[in-house]
Amino acid sequence: MTMTAAPLAVLVSSRAVLPTASGSLTISPATVSVSPATGKIVSVVAEIVPRTSFPAETTYLDYTPKLLLPGLVDAHVHLNEPGRTEWEGFWTGTRAAASGGVTTVIDMPLNAIPPTTTVRGFQEKLAASEGQCWVDVAFYGGVVPGNADELKPLVEAGVDEFPAISPKDMALAMKTLKDCTTTLMFHAEMEEEPRATGPSNDDDDDPSTDVTAYQTFLNSRPPTLETAAVREILSAAHVAPSLHLHIVHLSAAQCIPLLKEARAKGVNITAETCFHYLGLSAEEIETGDTRHKCCPPIREGRNRDRLWEELVAGDACIKTVVSDHSPCTPELKLLPEAAAPGRDEERKSGKEETNNNNNNNNKTNPGDFMSAWGGISSVGLGLPIIHSAAKQRGSKPSKTPTITDIVRLCCQATAEQVGLSHRKGSIRTGMDADICVFDDADVWTFTRADMRWKNKCSPWEGHEFTGRIKETWLRGRKIFELGAQNGGFAEGKPFGESITEKRTV
Ligand SMILES: [Zn+2]
C-alpha cells in the first residue's frame, strides 16, 4: 500500500491573531494548514496563500474578514459530574464551551461528588467524562483538611491543585507541594480576625435587612474578605518560594496593590478575574435578580474600572480571565417566578414543583440573595462578553484591551497557567489545531435559546453583544458551526479528550 499524505484543511483570513518571535501577539493575514489526522497545526504562513497553491483535494476555507483566533482555554469551569449532574454535566457544559470557541476547559474539583480531592475521586470523574466531551477537558485537584497525603499522587496523575481551608491546612499544602511543578490556587475570601466592631453587616435576623436587595448581599462580602485572605496567603508564601500561587476569581480591586507589591519582591503569585466582574456591575443588578449572585460578588462600577486597568498594566498581577462557570438548578437560585427558566425537558414533565432536592435549609424565598446558590453560568460566552465590554469602554481614557490582549488573557496565558502552553492557546506550527472563527462585527442578543448549558439561567440573558463565534475547530476538525444542523454540532459525536498528562511546565 502506498502512503499518501492525509488531506489537510487550510484556514485562511486577512486577520488572524498570531504569536511573534518574541512571544507577543499580532494581527496578521494568515494561512493555517491543519491536519485532521494528527490534530496538529502543520504550518502557519503570515500571508494569504491562494487556493491554487494547494492540491485539489485540500479543504480550503477563506474566512476573511473574520478573525482566526486560537481556541480559548477556560481555566475555571465547574462541570459538577458525577454527583450533581442535574446542575451541569460534561455533555452540556462542553457543548456550551464548543459553541463559544472554547476548546479546552479545566474542571474544578468542588461541587461534584466525589470532589477531586483523592486519586479515587479523580478516577471516578475520568470515567464519568468518557465519550461525553465536545472539547478537551483537564482537571484540578482540591486541598481539603486531611488530604495532604493525596496531593502528590494527584499531581502525578496530571491534576493541578486548588484551595486550602484554614491557614494551617494552607501552610501544610504549601509545604507538601513546595518542590512540585504545579500551581496552588486559592479562593481568597476569609473573615478578618478579630471581627471588626461596630454595626454588623450581615445580621440576617434584623427585620429591616432586605434580603432581596443586592446591596445587602454585597455588604455581607466586603473587599476586606478578599484582602484578608490575600494577606494570609502572602504571609505563608515563604514556605514554598518556588511554588506558583494563584488567586482564583479575584473581584476586589483592593487586592491588586497587595499582589503587585508581593510580585515586585519576587513572590510567584498571580490572579485571574472573571468575565462577569468585567462585564457587570452592582449598580445595574435589580432587586431579587439572584442570577447575579456569585462569590466573591460583582462589585461597583469603579471597582470594575480598576480590574480593566490591571488587565493591560505593566507587570499585571491579573494574568487571565476565566468564566468560573458555576451553575445549579433554578430552584437553588431562588429565582422570582418571572425569571425562573426551565431545565431542558424535565421541567415540562410536571416535576418542577418538587423541591425535595433543595439542599437549602431556609424556607424558599424567591429573590433572596442571602440564601440563593452563588454561581454564574457563562462558559462559552466569555469572548463576546469581554470583546463587547472592551469595545464599549473604547471611549474611556484608560487603556482598553485589544483583541490581541484578549487572546493573551483568555488563550495564551490561561494555557500557560495550567501547564498546557506546549500544545494549547496559540496558532503556531506543531500546536493542537484548535481554532475559533470570530466575527467581531456581528451584533446579536443572547437569549435563553442560545444557552447550551443544562440549566437555562444566566444574568447574560437579554444582553446585546458585539462579536459572535461562527466556527470552532478542535484538533483539526470542525466541531461547531453556528446555524448548522444538530444545533451547530455537525460532527455528531464528541471526540474531546481528558488531558491527564503530568504537567512539566
Ligand atoms: Zn469556581
Q: What is the 3-state secondary structure (H, E, C) of 186-207?
A: EECCCCCCCCCCCCCCCCCCCC
Q: Is the pLDDT of residue 83 over 70?
A: yes
* CB count in 10 Å sphere of residue 82: 17
Ligand 1 centroid–CA 77 distance in Å is 7
What is the C-alpha to C-alpha distance for residues 191 and 194, in angstroms, rounded to an integer? 8
Task: With H, G, I as helix, E, B as strand and everything else as coil, classify residue 277.
Answer: helix
Ligand 1 centroid–CA 15 distance in Å is 34
What is the C-alpha to C-alpha distance for residues 163 and 173, in angstroms, rounded to an integer? 9
Ligand 1 centroid–CA 108 distance in Å is 7
- 434, three cell numbers: 484548535
For the stretch 417-430, pLDDT in tens is 988 999 999 999 99
User: Which helix (DSSP H) or strand (DSSP E) does residue 302 occupy?
Assistant: helix 301-311
Return the percentage of the chain with pLDDT > 90, whole number: 61
Ligand 1 centroid–CA 198 distance in Å is 32
Ligand 1 centroid–CA 324 distance in Å is 5
- pLDDT bin (cut points 50, 70, 90) of residue 395 is low
For the stretch 481-496, pLDDT in tens is 999 999 999 778 999 9
Ligand 1 centroid–CA 375 distance in Å is 8
Ligand 1 centroid–CA 184 distance in Å is 14
Q: Is the pLDDT of residue 177 over 60?
A: yes
What is the average pLDDT value for the chain, to the nearest integer? 86
Q: Is the pLDDT of residue 386 over 80?
A: yes
Q: Which of 41-50, 87-96, 377-386 has the lowest mean pLDDT?
A: 87-96
Q: What is the pLDDT of residue 73?
A: 98
- 448, three cell numbers: 435563553
Ligand 1 centroid–CA 121 distance in Å is 18
Cell 518560594, located at residue: 241
For the stretch 352-370, pLDDT in tens is 333 333 444 445 688 999 9
Q: What is the chain's alpha carbon radius of gyration, rounded to the nearest angstrom?
A: 22
In 3D space, the residue among 379, 290, 399 whose CA is nearest the CA of residue 334 turns out to be: 290
List the beta strands (DSSP E) in 304-426. 318-322
For the stretch 460-477, pLDDT in tens is 999 999 999 999 999 999
Ligand 1 centroid–CA 327 distance in Å is 10
Q: C-alpha distances in angstroms, 135 versus 321, 386, 390, 461?
A: 19, 21, 27, 24
- pLDDT bin (cut points 50, 70, 90) of residue 336 is confident
Phi/psi for 239 (5° steps) reads -60, -35
Ligand 1 centroid–CA 60 distance in Å is 40
Longest dimension (CA), the chain: 83
Ligand 1 centroid–CA 225 distance in Å is 17
Of residues 375 and 397, more confidently modeled? 375
Q: What is the pLDDT of residue 198?
A: 39
For the stretch 236-270, pLDDT in tens is 999 888 899 999 999 999 999 999 999 999 999 99
Ligand 1 centroid–CA 88 distance in Å is 13
List the beta strands (DSSP E) in 78-206. 102-107, 136-139, 183-187
Ligand 1 centroid–CA 484 distance in Å is 32
- 290, three cell numbers: 439572584
Ligand 1 centroid–CA 294 distance in Å is 9
For the stretch 86-112, pLDDT in tens is 888 999 999 999 999 999 999 887 655
* CB count in 10 Å sphere of residue 349: 7
Q: Is the separation of the CB atoms in 334 and 366 below 8 Å?
A: yes
With vertex at residue 404, the alpha carbon angle to CA 298 and CA 262, rounded to the nearest 5 degrees, is 55
Ligand 1 centroid–CA 377 distance in Å is 11
Q: Is 3 exposed, middle or buried (0-12, 13-18, 19+ CB in 10 A)?
A: exposed
Distant-in-sequence, close-in-space partners of 308: CB < 8 Å, separation ≥ 6: 278, 393, 398, 400, 401
Ligand 1 centroid–CA 359 distance in Å is 19
Ramachandran quadrant class, 155 (left: phi over 0; alpha: psi -120 to 50; beta: rest): alpha
Q: Is the separation of the CB atoms in 234 and 258 below 8 Å?
A: yes
Phi/psi for 40 (5° steps) reads -110, 160
Q: Is the pLDDT of residue 57 over 70?
A: yes
Q: Is 307 exposed, middle or buried (0-12, 13-18, 19+ CB in 10 A)?
A: buried
- pLDDT bin (cut points 50, 70, 90) of residue 504 is low
Ligand 1 centroid–CA 149 distance in Å is 24
In 3D space, the residue among 429, 481, 467, 439 whose CA is nearest the CA of residue 30 turns out to be: 429
List the beta strands (DSSP E) in 40-153. 41-45, 59-62, 67-70, 72-77, 102-107, 136-139
Ligand 1 centroid–CA 86 distance in Å is 17
Ligand 1 centroid–CA 374 distance in Å is 10
Ligand 1 centroid–CA 110 distance in Å is 8
Cell 477556560, located at residue: 74
* pTM for the model: 0.89
Ligand 1 centroid–CA 430 distance in Å is 32
- Mean pLDDT, to the nearest integer, of 123-147? 84
Q: What is the pLDDT of residue 2?
A: 43
Q: Is the pLDDT of residue 114 over 90?
A: no
Q: What is the pLDDT of residue 203?
A: 45
- 15, three cell numbers: 486577520
Q: What is the pLDDT of residue 18?
A: 98
- pLDDT bin (cut points 50, 70, 90) of residue 413 is very high
Angle between helices 223-236 and 255-264 (to 10 degrees): 20
Ligand 1 centroid–CA 308 distance in Å is 20
Ligand 1 centroid–CA 63 distance in Å is 35
Of residues 384 and 89, more confidently modeled? 384
Ligand 1 centroid–CA 165 distance in Å is 15
* CB count in 10 Å sphere of residue 126: 16
- pLDDT bin (cut points 50, 70, 90) of residue 499 is confident
- 71, three cell numbers: 481556541
Q: Is the pLDDT of residue 378 over 70?
A: yes
Ligand 1 centroid–CA 21 distance in Å is 34
Ligand 1 centroid–CA 51 distance in Å is 45
Q: What is the pLDDT of residue 178?
A: 87
- Mean pLDDT, to the nearest integer, of 444-466? 95
What is the C-alpha to C-alpha distance for residues 406 and 353, in angstroms, rounded to an integer? 43
